[in-house]
Amino acid sequence: MYDVFRMRNKFCVEIQTLSINICARARAREREREREREREREREREREREREREREREREREREREREREREREREWRCSHHLANTI
């Protein structure tokens, strides 16, 4: 009879151990999924920062084009003004 109780207790301990291991693996998988989600969020933030840097470079190029157009208008004005004064 004692052996039956011992076997039952041993069986219960094995079941508890399996249950604990299953739960631990599930928690580990969930932590890994969360880390992967965080890595993906970080990659998305980096992509957004890169898009913003590209937009800023494009704005700077547009400002440079506008300055160049302004310089060209200024040169044209000076040239036409100079010609008008020499005639």
- Tell whether the torsion through CA atoms of 65, 67, 72 and 73 is positive or negative: positive
| Band of pLDDT at residue 82, cut at 50, 70 and 90 | low
Q: How far apart are CA 33 and CA 27, in angstroms?
A: 10
Nearest to 4 by CA among 12, 17, 14, 20: 12
Looking at 3-7, 24-28, 30-34, which range is the least confident one?
3-7
The mean pLDDT of 16-35, rounded to a whole number, is: 96
Percent of the chain with pLDDT over 90: 69
Residue spans per domain, the chain: 1-87
Average pLDDT over residues 17-38: 96
pTM of the model: 0.59
